[in-house]
């Protein structure tokens, strides 16, 4: 129990630090380690209580609820205290748009925020001429330290308006600005011009383009992850430490798990990468995160180094990964389940026990298990997973987690693109609470619920964040949410029909 808890803490701590580094490090001066410590405090307190008093002794109510309430509040306050908040001019009202730095959202990680060079009176006149009155009737220009906000009334469809205004501004100012089209909280579309960091050469230097793809680095991570997942796969296959020391070749028994898992993760990230390249979004190659424990890897990721042009691109890039990974996961999972063994259900059976997995927490997993194992899987039986089935099961969990409609997860991109940024934020808040309620009924999901609570609920906007999707993308988005529901929701009365 202590080793399992330590592995969970290490994985959760690494993931939390990585998430903070990617999501909020560029919008606040508060040290990342301090934000990380605040977010990890509830988990550390509860883990310490469990180690001292055991899992059967619940902590007092104050210790259970207090950190859960106070630490997120302190986390938010620390971000706000470290955030440089510009004061609006005395003759202007504070707008009700999302309070986020538009410039910082467009920057790659660890980049310095470029400052906005003041616009002269002549340039302001040229800027106003970029807004034809029949397309977007410009009424007010507001100056901020890192953006110029152009407010008015939309006179045509959003896509045509953005295309026209962006082309006019590029013709007048070149690549000096990113042109962003967003909706404020009151639903009125506005344009924002933020400095393009790629167009601002350093003093005494010519403009340089940061290399995005690092193939040797990516290949090195692949090879290291193949090694760590092979070692973990051998353990899953039943190879003991003594056997591997006596004959290292027995570690090859871990290759089926390693190859299957890495194929699922690779194709998931390649789906994102290919979609990003299709829309000419600068993106890194997929990078694996190898670890010598737990599953052998903490997954893979890509980073986008330029803004997403519009909501259609945001949708396509978001859905391409989980859809591609799901299409590979299902056949591998079915094959692995067909080669798995059934064992009697016991108190140790659960979501995290690969030797005695109870599939009845998931509708889709229940149906696939019954399909693969047939009459062997009855109401009193669990599954001893084949290593390939373990990889497929992990792929199913990864797909479900990424499809969660929260913040910058793939599902967050999908609902943002479908319903808009404000509605996407509301959906994310509701889903986080629902997962927390589900975790109270299924304690093995508690880590998942905590991670979702740590994630920022707001997704970054596309450059044109006003134009809506077409019908077929809406259908595809709803299908993705149906896949998510089939994975995370229990089968209910279907188990009786399947004799499970």
- 152 sits in which H/E element: strand 147-154
Are 149 and 40 in the same domain? no
Domain assignment present for 95: no
| CATH number, residue 191 | 3.30.1360
Whole-angstrom distance, CA of residue 409 vs CA of residue 116: 30
What DSSP state is assigned to residue 460? Answer: P
Chain-centroid distance, C-alpha 417: 15
Per-chain mean pLDDT for the chain:
81
pLDDT > 80? residue 319: yes
How far is Cα 313 from Cα 276, in angstroms, rounded to an integer? Answer: 8
Residue 93 domain-assigned (yes or no)? no
pLDDT, residue 459, reads 81
97 domain-assigned: no
Contact 363, 305 (CB under 8 A): no
Domain boundary pick from 40, 60, 85: 85
- Cα distances (angstroms) measured from residue 291 to each of 11, 103, 219, 224, 300: 9, 34, 16, 9, 12
Alpha helices in 343-386 (DSSP H): 363-373
Contact 189/154 with Cβ under 8 angstroms? yes
- Same domain as 430, residue 336: yes
Least confident of 154-163, 222-231, 345-354: 345-354
Asked if residue 141 and residue 107 are part of one domain, the reply reads yes
Residues 28-52 pLDDT 10s: 778 877 877 887 787 777 777 767 7
Looking at residue 348, what is its pLDDT?
79
The count of domains in the chain is 3
Give the N- to C-terminal CA distance of the chain in Å, as an integer: 29
- Which of 146, 45, 52, 159 is CA-nearest to residue 101? 146
pLDDT in tens, 47-92: 777 677 766 676 776 776 677 667 777 877 787 777 655 444 433 4
Residues 111 and 248 reside in one and the same domain: no
For residue 420, count other CB atoms closer than 10 A to its CB. Answer: 19
Last residue of a domain, one of 199, 225, 244: 199
- Output 5 or 10, whichever has higher pLDDT: 10
CA dihedral 215, 220, 221, 225 (to 10 degrees): 140
* Between 65 and 155, the higher pLDDT residue: 155
Is position 351 within any domain?
yes
Q: Do residue 131 and residue 219 come from a single domain?
A: no
Domain co-membership, 167 together with 287? no
| Comparison of pLDDT for 72 and 343, the residue scoring more | 343
Strands (DSSP E) contained in 287-360 are 287-290, 297-301, 341-344
Question: Same structural domain for residues 309 and 439?
Answer: yes
**Are 29 and 144 within one domain?**
no
Kindly state whether residues 338 and 444 are assigned to the same domain.
yes
Q: Does a structural domain hold residue 92? A: no
Please tell me whether residues 61 and 185 are part of one structural domain.
no
Q: Give the structural domain span for 178.
A: 102-199
Which residues, other chains included, contact 140 with Cβ-Cβ below 8 Å and sequence gap of 6+?
150, 151, 152
Residue 206 placed within a domain:
no
Predicted pLDDT at 496: 62
Residue 351 confidence (pLDDT): 82
Q: Is the dihedral of CA 490, 495, 498, 500 positive or negative?
A: positive
Q: What is the per-residue pLDDT for 291?
A: 81
Half-sphere CA count of 416, side-chain side, radius 13 A: 35
Considering the domain architecture, whether residues 220 and 346 belong to the same structural domain is answered as yes
Residue 35 and residue 130 in one domain: no
**pLDDT at position 102:** 41
Model pLDDT for residues 260-309, shown as the tens digit of each residue: 999 999 999 999 999 999 999 989 899 998 887 778 888 888 888 888 99
pLDDT one-digit tens code per residue, 363-411: 999 999 999 988 888 888 899 999 999 999 999 999 999 999 998 899 9
93-107, 328-342, 476-490: which range is least confident on average?
93-107
Identify the CA nearest to 165 among candidates 466, 475, 476, 493.
Answer: 466
C-alpha span between 205 and 305 (Å, rounded):
21
Does some domain include residue 94?
no
Predicted local distance difference test score (pLDDT) of residue 203: 46
Burial of residue 314 (number of CB atoms within 10 Å: 0-12, 13-18, 19+):
buried
Q: Is 179 exposed, middle or buried (0-12, 13-18, 19+ CB in 10 A)?
A: buried
Q: Report yes or no on 461 lying in a domain.
A: yes
> Residue 23: its pLDDT value, please?
64
* CA 110 to the chain's CA centroid: 19
**Two tokens, residue 226:** 């193949």
């Amino acid at each position: 129990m202590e080793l399992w808890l330590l592995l969970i803490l290490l994985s959760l701590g690494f993931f939390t630090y990585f998430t903070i580094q990617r999501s909020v490090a560029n919008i606040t001066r508060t040290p990342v380690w301090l934000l990380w410590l605040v977010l990890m405090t509830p988990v550390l307190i509860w883990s310490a209580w469990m180690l001292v008093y055991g899992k059967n002794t619940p902590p007092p109510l104050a210790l259970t609820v207090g950190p859960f309430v106070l630490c997120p509040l302190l986390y938010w306050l620390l971000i706000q205290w470290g955030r440089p908040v510009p004061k609006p001019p005395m003759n202007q009202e504070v707008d009700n748009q999302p309070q986020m730095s538009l410039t910082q959202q467009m920057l790659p990680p660890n980049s310095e925020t470029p400052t906005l060079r003041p616009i002269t009176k002549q340039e302001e006149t040229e800027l106003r001429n970029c807004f034809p009155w029949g397309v977007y009737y410009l009424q007010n220009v507001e100056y901020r330290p890192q953006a110029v906000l152009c407010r008015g009334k939309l006179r045509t469809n959003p896509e045509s308006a953005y295309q026209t205004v962006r082309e006019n501004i590029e013709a007048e100012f070149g690549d000096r600005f990113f042109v962003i089209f967003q909706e404020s909280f009151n639903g009125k579309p506005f344009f924002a011009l933020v400095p393009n960091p790629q167009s601002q050469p350093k003093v005494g230097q010519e403009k340089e383009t940061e290399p995005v793809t690092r193939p040797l680095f990516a290949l090195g991570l692949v090879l290291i992850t193949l090694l760590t997942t092979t070692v973990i796969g051998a353990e899953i296959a039943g190879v003991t430490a003594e056997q591997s020391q006596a004959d290292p070749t027995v570690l090859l028994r871990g290759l089926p798990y390693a190859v299957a898992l890495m194929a699922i993760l690779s194709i998931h990230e390649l789906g994102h990468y290919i979609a990003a390249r299709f829309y000419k979004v600068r993106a890194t190659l997929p990078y694996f995160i190898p670890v010598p424990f737990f599953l052998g890897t903490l997954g893979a990721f890509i980073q986008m180094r330029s803004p997403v042009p519009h909501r259609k691109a945001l949708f396509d890039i978001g859905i391409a990964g989980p859809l591609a990974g799901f299409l590979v996961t299902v056949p591998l999972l079915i094959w692995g389940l067909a080669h798995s063994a059934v064992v009697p259900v016991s108190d140790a059976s659960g979501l995290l026990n690969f030797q005695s997995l109870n599939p009845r927490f998931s509708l889709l997993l229940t149906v696939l298990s019954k399909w693969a194992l047939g009459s062997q899987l009855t109401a009193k039986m669990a599954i001893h997973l084949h290593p390939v089935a373990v990889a497929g099961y992990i792929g199913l969990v990864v797909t479900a987690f990424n499809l969660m409609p929260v913040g910058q997860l793939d599902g967050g991109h999908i609902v943002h693109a479908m319903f808009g940024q404000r509605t996407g934020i509301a959906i994310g808040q509701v889903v986080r609470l629902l997962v927390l309620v589900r975790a109270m009924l299924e304690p093995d999901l508690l880590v998942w619920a905590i991670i979702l609570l740590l994630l920022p609920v707001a997704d970054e906007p596309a450059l044109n964040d006003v134009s809506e999707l077409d019908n077929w993308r809406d259908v595809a988005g709803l299908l993705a949410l149906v896949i998510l529901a089939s994975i995370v929701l229990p089968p209910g009365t279907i188990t009786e029909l399947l004799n499970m």
